[in-house]
Amino acid sequence: MAALARLGVGTGVRSVAQRVADHSLGSIQDALPTASLTKMTPPTLGTARALVGDELQVLYLPPPEAEVVRDVSWGRPEELFTPAYWRAQVWYRELVGACSSFRLGRTLIEEVAACLLGGHGMPAEVGIAAFERIRDRGLLDGPPWPTAEEFIIELETPLQLFGRSRQYRFPRHRGRLLARNVRLLGHHPPPTNTAREFRQALTTCPGIGYKTASWITRNHLASHDVAILDIHVMRAGALIGLWPSRVNPARSYLALEERFLVFARSLGVRAGMLDAVMWADMRAFGGSSWIEGQAGNAATLQNVTIDDRTLQVQKKGEYSCPDPEEQAPPHPIQPIVRHSSSERV
């Protein structure tokens, strides 16, 4: 059933001790555990509101100037890309049950294939289409496992997406990589005692670094103990001051990941959910120069409409793009909750 959520910020707080609605990920105490909430006066708090069916839900947030983590303030939920904005966006998705599962594959082999064929600059739609073709051909149902040439033949065949022919990039390299990993992990699956141990084992496989290993781990184990620090999440973190804009995650992945996990806990949200929402929103909002110009821009959002498949944002006073098939303006704000938020660019 479709649900409508509207973003609102105000100071009409009835009780600072009132908990977030039952569907929320936690109370304000979870979001700011070190604050003395009893000393806060109602006007200092911000709110986000969502109308789900006929029921109004309210999320109470700490003061905009309060720190969520060291040197990073909450900001306001109606200002793009602030911590409060991300807290509210996760809350909206949770209310309507979006991103309830991150899995792309039914098995570990399928998940590995989906993640290896996506990412690395590959548009998410192309990567998923390539994965679905290989899966539907039965090439991931072994043993016995296919040869590299069998994968390459499928990847070299053009894909049909939205009525257009698309070529998968680097089919021979990806085909060989896929064949090696499918055979290796098919015979020697990684231990699943802990998410970190599982991920570490994946990083020993050819062509799988921390980012891809984290993606597989988050999806397959439904783990919130790892973070997928791709370009979109890195950009979101830089905009709020979690890390410098030019930091290289390949050189300091674990340190950046720990910073992200602490940030998620301080917001009172699950890391995997925050990662997925950041990826979806940053990808949908477009180029980096436009994003940087809009960061922290008050009153940018007019309303947010959510149903079980899409989230539509209208940029106040400019345009809306209610139909994803419709031609959008230069920097479109398109639907940003897909049927699966586990797809990556």
What's residue 35's pLDDT? Answer: 35
pLDDT band at 295; cut points 50, 70, 90: low
Q: Which residue has the higher pLDDT, 127 or 26?
A: 127
| Distance separating alpha carbons of residues 290 and 323, to the nearest angstrom | 22
pLDDT band at 291; cut points 50, 70, 90: low
| Distance separating alpha carbons of residues 324 and 304, to the nearest angstrom | 15
| Distance separating alpha carbons of residues 109 and 186, to the nearest angstrom | 7
170-208 pLDDT, tens per residue?
999 999 999 999 999 999 999 999 999 999 999 999 999
- Evaluate if residue 304 carries a pLDDT over 60: no
DSSP 122: B
| Distance separating alpha carbons of residues 41 and 156, to the nearest angstrom | 63
List phi, psi (to 5°) of 182: -60, -45
- Evaluate if residue 59 carries a pLDDT over 70: yes
DSSP 170: S
Look up the CATH number of domain 108-221.
1.10.340.30
42 CB neighbour count, 10 Å cutoff:
13
Ramachandran class of 53: left when φ > 0, alpha when ψ lies in -120 to 50, beta otherwise: left
116 CB neighbour count, 10 Å cutoff:
24
What's residue 345's pLDDT? Answer: 56
- Window from 40-54, 239-253, 269-283 with minimum mean pLDDT: 40-54
Length of the chain: 345
31-53 pLDDT, tens per residue?
333 333 334 444 468 889 998 88
Mean pLDDT of the chain: 77
328 CB neighbour count, 10 Å cutoff:
15
Distances (CA, A) of 293 to 159, 239, 255: 36, 10, 28
What's residue 245's pLDDT? Answer: 86
What's residue 99's pLDDT? Answer: 76
199-222 pLDDT, tens per residue?
999 999 999 999 999 999 999 999
What's residue 110's pLDDT? Answer: 98
102-116 pLDDT, tens per residue?
999 999 999 999 999
Distances (CA, A) of 106 to 110, 116, 273, 281: 6, 15, 20, 26
| Distance separating alpha carbons of residues 131 and 117, to the nearest angstrom | 7
| Distance separating alpha carbons of residues 52 and 285, to the nearest angstrom | 25
- Evaluate if residue 224 carries a pLDDT over 60: yes
Question: Hey, what are 240's tokens?
Answer: 């709020």
What's residue 290's pLDDT? Answer: 52
Where are the chain's structural domains? Answer: 1-100+271-345, 108-221
pLDDT band at 54; cut points 50, 70, 90: confident
What's residue 292's pLDDT? Answer: 57
Q: At what angle do helices 83-96 and 249-267 cross, to 10 degrees?
A: 70
Q: Which residue has the higher pLDDT, 131 or 37?
A: 131
What's residue 344's pLDDT? Answer: 62
| Distance separating alpha carbons of residues 150 and 168, to the nearest angstrom | 15
Question: Residue 189 in 3-state DSSP?
Answer: coil
Q: Which residue has the higher pLDDT, 287 or 226?
A: 226
291 in Cβ contact with 285 (< 8 Å) = yes
| Distance separating alpha carbons of residues 301 and 316, to the nearest angstrom | 6
Closest CA to 117 of 139, 92, 134: 134
